[in-house]
Amino acid sequence: MTDLNGKTVLITGASRGIGAASAEAFAAAGANVVLVARSEGAITEIAGRIGKTALAVPCDVSRFGDVEAAVKAAVDTFGRLDVLVNNAGVIEPIARMADSDPDTWGHALDINVKGVYHGMRAALPVMLGAGGGTVLTVSSSAAHGPVEGWSHYCTSKAGAAMLTRMLDTEYRASGVRAMGLSPGTVATQMQREIKASGINPVSRLEWSDHIPPEWVAKALVWMCGPDADAHLGEELALRDPGLRARLGLSA
């Protein structure tokens, strides 16, 4: 496992699913973890389970001030910020475009795109001041192809993927390591929401078709180490058998 002793990791969307599993995985790798989400009770419970190396910060990533305050809390508590995991995202409301609500469609982009930008923007001054850091963004194959009923999600994930490429283009030379991870379908609450919609082929997958969130967490921890340096600026796909084998994952 990648050794992250003494490092500090901030994870958005940390109240459940990939975010919660990532908090546990990064803590197991020796890192201080800052759990960020709107669900204060859930992140407080997870942080309490991890112990003194965890901090829960209620935050709405669609508001830059909230994210900036979370980064400040991380630095005030642990003295540094080494890794940002942009994980927060929403799939609801799933609807074909003619049936979609403009306000909720736009709010999904506020979280899925602006939330990623807010994380990057808030973390950059700290990371640049320290000589570098790692920014990992949870992406999706939806960033690269249309999926019926997901115009908001596909559009927002495409935007987030471009933000990763922009961050790499502008700041790799300054020591910032930017990468994306497309995990495939994961056994989380989001998949239950997709299943309930019944709109597209993804909604018809069985629960056993999805990978556990712990696999994604393991990949994110690995991406913080030097073995992943060959992939800077790229989006890794956890569907790739070669990557799964490298991480010791099997299905």
Give the residue numbers marked as catalytic: 153, 157
Element (H, E) at 9: strand 8-12
Cα of 87 vs its chain's centroid, Å:
2
Which amino acid, residue 50?
Answer: I
25 closest CA partner among 180, 227, 213:
213
| Cα–Cα distance for residue pair 121/68, rounded to 1 Å | 8
The answer to whether 236 and 179 are in contact (CB under 8 A) is yes
| Cα–Cα distance for residue pair 32/250, rounded to 1 Å | 28
Query: For the sheet containing 235-237, what is the strand order?
Result: 54-58, 32-37, 8-12, 83-86, 133-138, 176-182, 235-237
Q: Is 178 helix (H, G, I), strand (E, B) or coil?
A: strand
